[in-house]
Structure 1
């Protein structure tokens, strides 16, 4: 009919909903995100949302992933400086309004591994990729042994920094905390990989 709005379906409707959810999330944070407001902004009904996302948290995570951007991987020529640059970038992100949203989502998700895995910053591959890249370069330069190229080793520093926000609730980590994580934990761990056990007792030594 003339004047009747074209009904959106499939990918077009999903795109409209995600765009609306991202706008709501950016404006009001996760605490202010409601299915009613997203539906109204998208020009649809709540049933259309629930058919795609089972609850507000799932929609909030999808909207956050739309807002999140990829952090460039530093290449300073030094493992220590690369690590500090990655930590400083993460610190800026988690201290930003978008980081506040991420922390709200982490609290709401609790220990639900499936939902945590949907968060861009929390998926194992997404977290480990830049760290494995800088470690790979360090191995090529001779700064680290190949044994250091393990995802759990690679992400230790950023996990410790994340704990400052999620567990301790700090609004921003001071730079000396980033330096401490790098110098006191991360670099000793990386350099210890592949070092092998120390020499045992000399069998010829006198008892």
Structure 2
């Protein structure tokens, strides 16, 4: 039942866009009442995040493991950039503006993924320790999120490489 609701939400989003997406529209498409939706999701942003996760999975389920910290972080940032391209700027902006309390959970996922990447790198001997401040740890994903919010064009590979090579890796190397 829930997967049918999320599929209806995804189809409605694709048809009308985020700005015109309503719980009523999703409920009508799913042939149910909007109360059914509100029992599961507090608002349309939470519904869209759930539909996106059903459709594309969570980044927490796709933690890169290339064997090198640089490549792992780049792979993660590429996943974020690809998701942005797939869902579009209006959806990204709308969800971030409306997500509410779930925003912390969404951001915590990236912290957990980065922790895993750093722990693997430390175990391989690439960095002396994975004990890095949370702000530095999440810096690459925070910078990508900032680029997504502040710019209207898709992220480029050059931007992702710059974030990793010129900002993150020097900080990790100097702190570790």
TM-score range normalised by the length of the shorter chain: 0.7 to 0.9
- Say which is worse superposed, 175-184 or 99-108, in terms of deviation: 99-108
**Equivalent residue for 2:124?**
141
| Higher alpha-carbon deviation: 50-59 or 75-84 | 50-59
Question: Gaps (5+ residues) in structure 2?
Answer: none
Alpha-carbon deviation of 1:154? 2.2
Query: Which of the residues 9, 15, 25 maps onto 1:37?
Result: 25
Aligned equivalents of 1:80 and 1:47: distance in 2?
46
Alignment of 1:20 with 2:8, yes or no, is: yes
Structure (1/2) with the larger helix percentage: 2
Query: Within 5 A, what are the aligned runs for 1:118-133?
Result: 122-124=106-108, 126-133=109-116
Runs of 4+ off more than 6 Å: none
Change (3 A) 1:47 1:183: closer
Q: How far apart are 1:160 and its partner, in Å?
A: 0.5
Identify the residue that residue 86 of structure 2 maps to in structure 1. Answer: 96
TM-score by length of 2: 0.81
CA distance in 2, matches of 1:64, 1:181: 26
Higher RCO structure, 1 or 2 (CA under 8 Å, sep 6+):
2
Counterpart in 2 of 1:66?
A: 54
Name the count of aligned residue pairs: 174
Q: Measured at CA, do residues 34 and 84 of structure 1 come closer, stay the same or move farther in structure 2, by a change above 3 Å? A: same
Using the size of structure 1 for normalisation, the TM-score is 0.70
- In our comparison, the structure showing a higher alpha carbon Rg is 1
2:43, 2:83 → 1: CA distance?
Answer: 26
